[in-house]
Structure 1
Amino acid sequence: MTEEAPPLVVGEAQLRAVLDAIPARVALLDRDRRCRYANREFAEFLGYTPDTVIGKTVAELMGGRAYAILAEQGERALAGETVRWSGWIPYLNRSKPRFVQRLYLPYRGPDGAVEGYFVFARDLTELMEAQQSVLATGAEMRRRDALSSAIIASALDAVIVMDEDGLVVEFNPAAERTFGYPREAAIGRLAGELIVPPAMRERHAAGMRRYLETGKGTVLGRRIEVEAMRSDGSTFPCELAITEVRLPERRLFTAHLRDLTEQRAAAAEIEAQRTKLHQVEKMSAMGSLLAGVAHELNNPLAILLAQAALLRETAATPDLLRRAERIHAAAERSGRIVKSFLAMARQEAPRREPVQVAAVVQAAVELTAYGARSAGIAVEVTHDALLPPVEGDRDLLSQVVANLLVNAQQVLQDRSGPRHVAVRTRRAGEGVVVEVADSGPGVPAEIAGRIFEPYFTTKPSGAGTGIGLAICRNVVTSHGGRIELEDAPGGGALFRVWLPATSAPAAEAVARPEGRAGAASILVVDDEADVAASLAEILEAAGHRVTIRDGGEAALGAARGAHFDAVFTDLRMPGMDGAALRRALLAEQPRLGARTVLVTGDTVIGAVAARAGPGPGGAIVLKKPFTPSEVRAALVRALAAGDPPPT
């Protein structure tokens, strides 16, 4: 069964160009017989331009006598009938009648109702008069043939003219470029064998026979999309419109074809970009959600870690000390995991500082440890001694290793038999190498070259975004390194990351300034009473005097009525938050404002907000969960920040 084509969309630039190019008059009339569209030939024949003819009725355009002759055919078209008519018409702007062949095609709207009809008119006056003047007719025919040939030759779309037997009688230059046949090779051949794919040829031939026998067809006069075939046998999508040309001695069929390959490719690229944008938006939403959840966890973790640290420092018995150390170790590990999650989702520029690769790997292993244990995957970590530090962003590098570990776990989780992942760090020339090898099936050679391409994934839909390894490559490259894939010894995949070493000491090896800094008066501000109390206990244990307030307004009032050496304030609080409190203190008491420490569990947005405030270098930030040593180090920095510069 021949597939129904979509209705012709009036007003499209392509349709206007085609209809303006053909030597026939075309118009669209609504149910009131008003002109809604006219091609250039139609308008100019009646003495109008395509714009000024719109909205005028048939009677206004052609005169009452012509309307009376054509009214019946219009009624039949509005009733849904395709009507063919020819005869003499007395036009309003013509001195004598014209012999016209007209085709009426109903125009249906989206709901299938007839909203108007198309009129295709061919003026055959000259052909009729040729019976009286053979010489005049011959000259006119030659002129029209020359005009038609010029139009066809200059058309941007492929134009193929066939006779009633389906043989090609014209093949324009655009058709030569589109289908790969020279005109001489195409003329005289069956169009069905030339451009129709083999699977569709019988359908094409049957439709041609049916139209020639009954005059009924589903393709003629419509614009449809079909598959066409080039000379090399390859197929491509194209837009097809076929019109019939009746001559005194025979009928011809003109096919206008447009290659849709580039158009389809552009549409596919737009859809691919839309999918990528959706993935980016989804990842951004996940990052924001993760930041919020982690921030909520950081407050109880801050209390747990602070109390465990204080208990460890004040334990009276060895047994109590062991218990405190276990609690402290578990709380510290939980804090590191939360901080790692937040670091991956943070919205700040990458940092560059000396870092120990072993510490980066250890953080990634801890972050992914639960997934490995729950899947029964053994993870073996080996570090060579005396590795030099590398200069880079600790969080981004940890994200690279974590992504490689997660990929290895996903490969192994459904496999039977021993499952293990080996992680090793070692010195390699002027750099440090991190290797992650798994005991899986390895990466097939046919996709190994594409493994680092953005959005390329072998995982089923919904199981991966295809951006993990692309991000890894970008991070490693931005650090001056490289990442490679090869087969692991004994089977499996091995990812090798090489990073250049630096001579600067790693941040982990730099001692943090602690010390008691003398007895100081400290203002602690937090709407979470337990967090404030834990922070106060750490400071009091270091010999300082502490005043607690539960909000920014109350803290500002306390600072106006008493002397404080430093302020520790939570960043997120109802009403006046920590950043606003610091700005107010900088305006009223610049020395105390400079000594204000912002305490935050939101390292994604919190750190950005902290740096955005006034003052050189932004605020001092203490991240939750914190240890006593980190609190004391923050206090030392705060007290130093308020001192006048040396002269």
Structure 2
Amino acid sequence: MSESHPWELPELASLTKRLRDLQETEAVSAAVIASALDCIVVADEDGCVVEFNPAAQRTFGYSREEALGRQLAELIVPPKFQRLHSEGMARYMRTGEARVLGRRVELEAMRRDGSTVPVELTITEVRLPERRLFTAHLRDLSAQKAAQAEIERQRESLFQTEKMAALGSLLAGVAHELNNPLAVVLGQAAMLLDGLAGGEPEGAEEIGRRARIIEQAAERCARIVRSFLAIARQRKTERRDIHLGDVVAQVLELLAYSLRTTGIEVQTDIPADLPPIEADPDQLHQVLLNLVVNAQQALEARDGPRRIRIEAGRSAGVDQVWITVADNGPGVPDHIRGRIFDPFFTTKTVGEGTGIGLAVSLGLAEAHGGTLRLLERSPLGGAAFELRLPRGGGAAAAQVDKDSAAVPALKPPPNRRALIVDDEPEIASTLAEILARRGYRCTLAGNGREACDRLGEDPCDLILCDIRMPDMDGPAFYRWLAENRPELTERIVFVTGDTLGPAAGRFLARVGAPVVEKPFTPAEIWKVATSLEGQT
């Protein structure tokens, strides 16, 4: 046996230690991969899977043995993304241009049964002497997405609950607000009829004066009804450019009776040139309604003058607008200032409040990218809340003021035919008179079945149809049109007061036909008729 050289033993010991260190490192790496909570999938340059950890097995439904050697694309990439995945890999291997590598992205992955799962993905490249590997870390986001959806559902549920609570507290005032203008309508109409029946010929000027009084009172009723429908209606969030001044005016009109009868003076300072904001009008209406109602309730026990001040403006140097609602009530005690936005926290007695108004309002403000806070000081000495919201993307569409805008004289289109379907003869005849002024020849039907008979094979340019009717309602008539006269489904407009009903709401959302809500004005009917005339 030959004698060993002195340098051979240290070299052998060094190699042995390096081998042992390498084995320990591999063991630790294997343990990390095996115990990782996230999915770890490793693929080679050809896209073949070379590692598939236990988390990936649980998430995607493949065993490690089934996954190894298979193409990653066909294993976990949904079919609609497989071509993009293959093109991306080929582009990176060819040019080094990476769009996903080293980034954190959210996308869909595919399970063994073909279902998809939302995942967060990061991909890391590992360069080895002989080849390159790509390590993908995938985090299953199913629980997170489900939690987010549940939070959104609960927020919407709280929003709806608070709306119903607000409706209940406003009913008495709204009943009074509706009774007053309705009394004007009935009284003025009776005076007109009595004068005609008694042989007292009234001049055109006097008849016109009474007609304007009736019109203004009826439109006031319509605005109140629409405000309540806007609050009570359940629909998805729909943001558009709106003006804060318009929303404040609607809130104050809705609360006019209760504010007046409790002796509260409301001051407003909202610049006419305030830029629009991008928001859901119903949700913003609810926030401001909550703030004004809270201020009103805070003033109920106060002796002496009661004041609410609403101010708005634009933040200097920040693309935001702000609005404050302040009162001269007792204010918010220091020991509860930090809790007033907590859900179900209230200082009111049982039956007077739910404790979710401010919590819902805060959630709606934050959902719009804004803030809602209690100010340290109030200009009136009581409590003051400030709402800040980002500006909208463009100028809001101009709104027609129905109280003051006159209906323009329009040249009647020639040979226009309209079918009016409504089980209320007075409504149908009113619609016919409105359309007659635009040159339409109108045919009336009391329900969908009569409408089918009246329609026959005759041409028709416009159909105004109610939804709830006996003996074939609006949806059934629409289905008949789709089967027998499909071209007329593009010419139908639903004129209804039932948009709050869930069945009617689902039907209208499904068909996408134009809708005019009752009570309507001639301008609204003419506007929708004009829009359809432009399609012919």
Name the TM-score class by shorter chain. 0.5 to 0.7
Quick one: structure 1 residues 532 and 316, their matched pair in 2 at CA, closer, same or farther if it must change by over 3 Å?
farther
Query: Partners in 2 of 1:336 and 1:389 — Cα distance?
Result: 22
Higher radius of gyration, 1 or 2: 1
Deviations 1:490-539 (A, max 9, x none): 41111111121124121334899985561421111111121112221111
The answer to whether the 8 Å contact 2:462/2:491 transfers is yes
Q: CA deviation at 1:423?
A: 1.4
- Residue in 1 aligned with 2:383? 493
Quick one: structure 1 residues 372 and 348, their matched pair in 2 at CA, closer, same or farther if it must change by over 3 Å?
same
- Residue in 2 aligned with 1:450? 339
Query: Partners in 1 of 2:162 and 2:243 — Cα distance?
Result: 33
- Residue in 2 aligned with 1:522? 418
Q: What percent identity do the matched residue pairs reach?
A: 43
Deviations 1:470-496 (A, max 9, x none): 111122222221111123124111111
Are 1:609 and 2:506 an aligned pair?
A: yes
Gaps (5+ residues) in structure 2? 1-156, 193-201
The answer to whether the 8 Å contact 1:342/1:602 transfers is no
Alignment of 1:12-31 (within 5 A): none
Quick one: structure 1 residues 382 and 323, their matched pair in 2 at CA, closer, same or farther if it must change by over 3 Å?
farther
Aligned letter for 1:441? P
- Residue in 2 aligned with 1:587? 483
Aligned letter for 1:574? P
- Residue in 1 aligned with 2:250? 363
Query: Partners in 2 of 1:400 and 1:571 — Cα distance?
Result: 32
Quick one: structure 1 residues 350 and 489, their matched pair in 2 at CA, closer, same or farther if it must change by over 3 Å?
same
Query: Partners in 2 of 1:279 and 1:626 — Cα distance?
Result: 29
Query: Partners in 2 of 1:286 and 1:473 — Cα distance?
Result: 16
- Residue in 2 aligned with 1:636? 530
Query: Partners in 2 of 1:336 and 1:281 — Cα distance?
Result: 23
Quick one: structure 1 residues 423 and 392, their matched pair in 2 at CA, closer, same or farther if it must change by over 3 Å?
same
Quick one: structure 1 residues 281 and 359, their matched pair in 2 at CA, closer, same or farther if it must change by over 3 Å?
closer
Q: CA deviation at 1:608?
A: 2.1
Query: Partners in 2 of 1:373 and 1:511 — Cα distance?
Result: 24
Are 1:436 and 2:331 an aligned pair?
A: no
SS of corresponding position for 2:398: helix
The answer to whether the 8 Å contact 2:162/2:360 transfers is no
Are 1:400 and 2:293 an aligned pair?
A: no
Deviations 1:385-434 (A, max 9, x none): 21111111112211211111111111112211001111122222322222
Alignment of 1:499-578 (within 5 A): 499-509=389-399, 515=410, 518-519=413-414, 520-578=416-474
Query: Partners in 2 of 1:483 and 1:445 — Cα distance?
Result: 18
SS of corresponding position for 1:498: strand
Of 616, 625, 631, the residue aligned with 2:519 is 625
- Residue in 2 aligned with 1:233? none
The answer to whether the 8 Å contact 2:167/2:228 transfers is no
Gaps (5+ residues) in structure 1? 1-276
Of 339, 354, 358, the residue aligned with 1:465 is 354
Aligned letter for 1:623? E
Q: CA deviation at 1:285?
A: 10
- Residue in 1 aligned with 2:496? 600
Q: CA deviation at 1:278?
A: 11
Quick one: structure 1 residues 572 and 282, their matched pair in 2 at CA, closer, same or farther if it must change by over 3 Å?
farther
**How many equivalent pairs are there?**
351
Alignment of 1:273-292 (within 5 A): none
Of 184, 192, 215, the residue aligned with 1:328 is 215
CA RMSD of aligned residues (A): 3.6
State TM-score, norm by structure 1. 0.50
Which segments of structure 1 move beyond 4 Å, counting only runs of 4 or more? 277-288, 509-517
The answer to whether the 8 Å contact 1:420/1:438 transfers is yes
Quick one: structure 1 residues 432 and 461, their matched pair in 2 at CA, closer, same or farther if it must change by over 3 Å?
same
State TM-score, norm by structure 2. 0.59
Q: CA deviation at 1:443?
A: 0.8
Aligned letter for 1:396? Q
Query: Partners in 1 of 2:160 and 2:528 — Cα distance?
Result: 36
Query: Partners in 2 of 1:368 and 1:285 — Cα distance?
Result: 15
The answer to whether the 8 Å contact 2:163/2:286 transfers is no
The answer to whether the 8 Å contact 1:348/1:604 transfers is no
Aligned letter for 1:518? P
